[in-house]
Homo-oligomer: A and B are copies of this chain.
Amino acid sequence: MTPPIVRTVAELRAHVRRWRAEGETVGFVPTMGALHEGHLSLVRLAKSRATRAVASVFVNPTQFGPNEDFEAYPRGEAQDAELLASVGCNLLYAPTVGEMYPEGFSTTVTVAGVSEPLDGAARPGHFAGVATVVSKLLLQCGPDVAVFGEKDYQQLQVIRRLTRDLDIPVEIIGGPTARADDGLALSSRNAYLTPEERQVAPEIHRTLTAAIEQLHAGRPVAEVEAGAIARLSAAGFARVDYVEVRGAGDLARLGPGPITPPARILAAAFLGKTRLIDNMAV
């Protein structure tokens, strides 16, 4: 049986309030829908940490740039609800744009530092959109724990930072990236890929894996990054936004010299019109 679908903050809070009165705990998985095994693994993680799981599906317009894929972003609520049912999700919160941003809306949450490099530089305004909508979703739901994928690693760090800074009373949990057999990180945007592009796409994961081996072998960071970018370009990626090794927590640049763990290597590159991202622990 598919979970009940609610579209307003009032209904969402009524469910959560009733659960709390019954002694239940709440795990929350915010998504943009077009669900795949990666999302389902996050819901399973939420259910392992709380007795009730809520998923939200909201394609947030404010985190898309003017030339990005907001209109084209895949949507399919009926299938999302079926998939959520398969992992025991207890409620689907699918608000309208008007419910999230009523007339007169004018508040923005921004996170300096961790949101500035990488996707923050490549997608101006993206993380302000993310930080604002995630603040809202967390405060609308009021969960005990909220689960976000490591696939969007910089987003996860931005969310950790803002919940700590604003004292939002929730525990943020990162879920490991789910991958296809050939290593490609699962993403709703993989649906955009042509069959030929889909063949090339796992080269991101292979490139990051090779880069990590080179780093462990002592090759300088700048050389490894440049080599990875060259490899992706040679494989057919149209534009490589970045391949960078950074501190795992604050995503700060690492000094010259040997890298000090924990570090993370992150990449973003276009295959045709599709922007793919991936990252791994170094």
| Cβ A167 vs Cβ B110 within 8 A | no
- Write the nearest CB–CB distance from A255 to chain B, whole angstroms: 18
| Cβ B104 vs Cβ A250 within 8 A | yes
CA distance A112 to B113 in the complex (A): 22
8 Å CB contacts to B: which residues of A49-67?
A: none
Provide the residues of chain B in CB contact with A131, threshold 8 Å: 107
| Cβ B109 vs Cβ A108 within 8 A | yes
CA distance A139 to B136 in the complex (A): 12
| Cβ A135 vs Cβ B166 within 8 A | yes
* The residue from B109, B140, B142, B169 contacting A107, defined by CB atoms under 8 A apart: B109
Q: How many residues of A contact B (CB 8 A)?
A: 28
Q: A106 within 8 Å of B by Cβ?
A: yes
CA distance A89 to B252 in the complex (A): 45
Q: A238 within 8 Å of B by Cβ?
A: no
| Cβ A106 vs Cβ B161 within 8 A | yes
8 Å CB contacts to B: which residues of A156-190?
A: 161-162, 165-169
Q: A32 within 8 Å of B by Cβ?
A: no
Provide the residues of chain B in CB contact with A162, threshold 8 Å: 107
Given contacts A104-B250, A250-B104, A139 and B166 within 8 Å (CB-CB)? yes
